[in-house]
């Protein structure tokens, strides 16, 4: 049974990854003409000091995806490349590989997302639990409308307002970037503080805008849990209010939140990409923004595939630990 | 009706917000010269004044005119994509949930896979592949290409629950055909959910379209709200402190989202009387 579930989950994982690679291959070719070849030829015709490199890229591209080859053969070649995580060279920044560029920007995104999502999940869930808890202080109730409003706002719009207020008007934080221009990324305290200062506002906008989502979900679950018989029984047995709150109510209400986390990951990520663009934060979103402006297909494809892969792996991990978190779940085949 | 409206406050708040926006766009078109929304029709970079109440942008557009023209465009993208999404979703959900079998497994599989992949990324791939700059309607179609996934899932589960209720079985026993059951028994009970799903889909479509526009794949010639934000980042209006440039679209977009969100919460309460607040 457990094995059955794991196998089914792994199959879904493989299908999603395959679907992403297939979309990557077929979408540019849908229109009949191959925009990637057009772009490459255009770049080669433009010449310049990287001319020879681009010329080689055109040849390599023709060798792999030439018009003389049938479509299925091109498709298999592409799948093979993707399986080896080989996305080729960036068209716009030629001597650099797509992998190399992504390796530079991924840590920024992962760091920002991991911190904000975990914080938002923890703080939002506790707030939501307090909102539904009858014995919580009065002022908590007043937090509900603003939280609700914030959750309806896209992250990057909140980001725009925060930049203007805290970076431009009050000058508490830098206006853009991930670190002060001119300094070089290094592992020392000064640089770490600099990074912290630069990522505070992007993190705050994601955090504030996603708090409401978790609070809402948790509040709903807490209301259900509070009506359960074991809560009444535990209260009647004279358990302390804090024990009731943490080990009886939250423990049970938190589990569905983990499922929502898996479902919301893609949404959070899309939002965070745009926040990066607004803040010119040196993560994968800003890289994608520049790649789109330069029509750097290989980079766009690489980034799209890598992000899908990341989200899918994260969802897979969440789904696999979910039965461990909740012993009531056995996953029978319905 | 009125007393119910008083109780369902979030529905009222949502409707008022959306109505306000529509009024702004409608009256603005009558009272203000919208030709000023074209570039170079006003002196650039002016803060708000009597002549240009919301100021002008770097390319010499009057921002009040841009807002009046852009708000309906953004709403149009959302409504069109949301409508297509819910229409396709309803058909797929009904066929899947009602007939079951291979078709249902297939639909469910596609939806499961599709919802795991972040929508914005697929839309980016799609928009990049089209290459030539999109028109507003094409933009709506691009967004609509994925907007049916979520409606399909939610409507399907709703149909599954309605299908098991007693009155459906009574209808079946009294010899109603499948088509009669779907259109006369299931559909009327599904309508409130469809309305709530539609509002949600419109919000999601607007969010997706603004996302595409901000990242640089929007309709360059159109003055939608998202494109205004794109120009704000493109010309780094924040570094120049041009608050009048980005505040209007931000405020309108926030009003739209909060409005849609409250309406969908309100409709949810209408559809689920069990969660209805006691007076």
Q: What is the pLDDT of residues A215-235, one digit of tens each?
A: 888 888 888 888 888 888 888
Chain A CB contacts of B117 under 8 Å are 16, 19-20, 23, 266, 308, 311-312
Yes or no, beta carbons of B253 and A307 under 8 Å apart: no
CA atoms of A156 and A238, how far apart (whole Å): 48
CB-CB under 8 Å, B215 with A274: yes
Residue A80 pLDDT: 84
Task: Tell me whether A221 touches chain B (CB under 8 Å).
Answer: no
The shortest CB-CB distance from A308 to any of B117, B207, B254 is to B117
Are B239 and A279 contacting, i.e. CB atoms less than 8 angstroms apart? no
Q: What is the CA radius of gyration of chain B?
A: 22
Contact criterion met (CB < 8 Å) for A27 and B125: yes
Residues in B lying within 8 Å of A, measured between beta carbons: 109, 112-122, 124-126, 128-131, 207, 210-211, 214-217, 229, 232-233, 238-239, 241, 243, 246, 250, 253-254, 257-258, 260-261
The DSSP bridge partners found for residue A97 are A89
Residue A31 above 70 pLDDT?
no
Interface contact A304-B124, CB threshold 8 A: yes
Instruction: Identify the residue among A22, A33, A150, A154 best suited for mutation to test binding to B, counting B beta carbons within 10 A and taking the highest.
Output: A154
Query: Residue B279's pLDDT is what?
Result: 35
Q: Do residues B116 and A267 make contact, with C-beta atoms less than 8 angstroms apart?
A: no
Q: Look at chain A and report how many structural domains it folds into.
A: 1
Helices B243-271 and B225-234 sit at what angle, rounded to 10 degrees?
A: 140
Task: Examine the pLDDT at A332 and tell me if it is beyond 60.
Answer: no
- Chain B residues within an 8 Å CB radius of A312: 116-117
Domain membership of residue A167 (yes or no) is yes
CA distance B132 to A173: 39
- Residue A334's pLDDT is what? 44
| CATH topology classification for B2-25+56-275 | MetI-like fold (1.10.3720)
Chain B residues touching residue A209 (CB < 8 angstroms)? none
What is residue A56's predicted lDDT score, i.e. its pLDDT?
73
Tens-place pLDDT, residues A3-26: 788 888 899 899 999 998 988 888
Q: Which helix (H) or strand (E) holds A70?
A: none
Q: Find the domain containing A239 and state its range.
A: 109-287
* CATH code at position A138: 1.10.3720.10
> Does any CB of chain B come closer than 8 Å to the CB of residue A17?
no
- A152 to B261: CB separation less than 8 angstroms, yes or no: yes
Nearest-angstrom CA–CA distance, A131 and A143: 8
Q: Which residue from A16, A161, A301 is facing B116, i.e. has the nearest CB?
A: A16
Percentage of chain A modeled with pLDDT above 90:
10
List the structure tokens of B210: 């603004």
Model pLDDT, residue B191: 87
B113/A16 Cβ within 8 A: yes
- Spatial separation of the C-alpha atoms in residues A286 and A276, rounded to whole Å: 6
Q: What does DSSP assign to residue A168?
A: I
A271-323 pLDDT, tens digit per residue, is 899 999 888 888 899 999 988 888 888 888 899 999 999 889 988 888 888 77
DSSP string, A234-259: HHHTT--HHHIIIIIIIHHHHHHHHH
Q: Measured between CA atoms, how close is B129 to chain A, in angstroms?
A: 5
Q: What is the pLDDT of residue B278?
A: 42
Asked if the Cβ–Cβ distance from A307 to B121 is below 8 Å, we say yes
Residue A325 lies inside a defined structural domain of this protein? no
A316 contact B CB<8A: no
Residue in A with minimal Cα distance to B264: A152
Within 8 A of A148 by CB-CB distance, chain B residues are: 261
Given a cut of 90, is residue A177 above it in pLDDT? no
What mean pLDDT do residues A168-178 have? 79
Strands (E), B64-117: none
For A15, which residue in chain B has the nearest alpha carbon? B113
Mean pLDDT of A188-212: 86
**Which residue numbers in chain B have pLDDT < 70?**
1-2, 131-132, 272-279
- Nearest residue, CB atoms, B125 vs list A24, A149, A289: A24
């Amino acid at each position: 049974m457990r094995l059955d579930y794991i196998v089914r989950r792994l199959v879904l994982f493989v299908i999603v990854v395959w679907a992403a690679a297939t979309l990557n291959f077929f979408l540019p070719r849908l229109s009949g003409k191959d925009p990637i070849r057009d772009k490459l030829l255009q770049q080669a015709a433009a010449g310049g000091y990287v001319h020879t490199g681009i010329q080689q890229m055109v040849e390599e591209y023709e060798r792999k995806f030439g018009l003389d080859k049938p479509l299925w053969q091109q498709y298999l070649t592409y799948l093979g490349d993707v399986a080896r995580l080989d996305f080729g060279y960036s068209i716009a920044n030629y001597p650099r590989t797509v992998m190399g560029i992504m390796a530079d920007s991924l840590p920024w995104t992962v760091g920002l997302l991991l911190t904000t999502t975990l914080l938002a999940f923890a703080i939002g869930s506790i707030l939501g639990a307090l909102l539904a808890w009858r014995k919580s202080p009065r002022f908590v109730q007043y937090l509900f409308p603003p939280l609700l409003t914030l959750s309806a706002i896209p992250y990057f719009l909140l980001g725009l307002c925060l930049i203007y207020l805290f970076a431009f008007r009050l000058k508490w934080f830098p206006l853009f970037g991930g670190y002060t221009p001119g300094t070089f990324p290094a592992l020392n305290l000064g640089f770490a503080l600099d990074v912290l200062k630069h990522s505070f506002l992007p993190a705050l906008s994601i955090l504030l805008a996603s708090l409401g989502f978790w609070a809402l979900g948790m509040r709903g679950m807490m209301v259900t849990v509070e009506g359960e018989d074991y809560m009444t029984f535990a209260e009647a047995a004279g358990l302390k209010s804090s024990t009731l709150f943490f080990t009886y109510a939250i423990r049970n209400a938190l589990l569905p939140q983990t499922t929502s986390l898996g479902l919301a990951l893609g949404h959070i990520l899309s939002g965070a990409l745009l926040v990066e663009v607004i803040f010119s934060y040196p993560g994968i979103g800003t890289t994608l923004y520049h790649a789109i402006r330069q029509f750097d297909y290989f980079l766009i494809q690489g980034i799209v595939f890598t992000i899908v892969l990341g989200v899918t792996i994260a969802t897979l991990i969440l789904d696999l630990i979910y039965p461990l978190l909740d012993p009531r779940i056995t996953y029978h085949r319905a | 009706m009125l007393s119910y409206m008083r109780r369902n406050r979030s529905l009222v708040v949502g409707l008022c917000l959306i109505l306000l926006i529509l009024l702004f766009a409608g009256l603005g078109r009558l009272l203000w010269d919208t030709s000023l929304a074209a570039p170079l029709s006003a002196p650039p970079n002016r803060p708000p004044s009597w002549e240009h109440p919301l100021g002008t942008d770097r390319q010499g557009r009057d921002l009040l005119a841009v807002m009046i023209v852009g708000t309906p465009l953004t709403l149009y993208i959302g409504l069109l994509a949301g409508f297509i999404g819910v229409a396709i979703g309803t058909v797929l959900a009904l066929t899947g949930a009602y007939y079951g079998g291979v078709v249902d497994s297939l639909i469910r599989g596609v939806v499961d896979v599709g919802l795991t992949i972040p929508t914005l990324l697929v839309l980016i791939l799609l928009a990049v592949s089209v290459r030539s700059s999109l028109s507003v309607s094409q933009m709506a179609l691009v967004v609509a290409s994925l907007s049916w996934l979520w409606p399909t899932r939610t409507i399907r589960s709703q149909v599954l629950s309605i299908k098991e209720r007693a009155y459906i079985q009574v209808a079946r026993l009294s010899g109603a055909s499948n088509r009669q059951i779907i259109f006369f028994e299931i559909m009327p009970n599904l309508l409130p959910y469809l309305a709530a799903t539609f509002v949600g889909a419109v919000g999601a479509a607007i969010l997706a379209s603004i996302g595409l526009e901000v990242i640089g794949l929007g309709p360059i010639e159109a003055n939608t709200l998202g494109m205004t934000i794109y120009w704000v980042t493109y010309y780094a209006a924040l570094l120049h402190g041009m608050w009048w440039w980005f505040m209007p679209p931000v405020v309108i977009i926030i009003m739209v989202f909060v409005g849609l969100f409250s309406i969908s919460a309100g409709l949810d309460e209408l559809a689920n009387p069990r969660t209805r607040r006691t007076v």
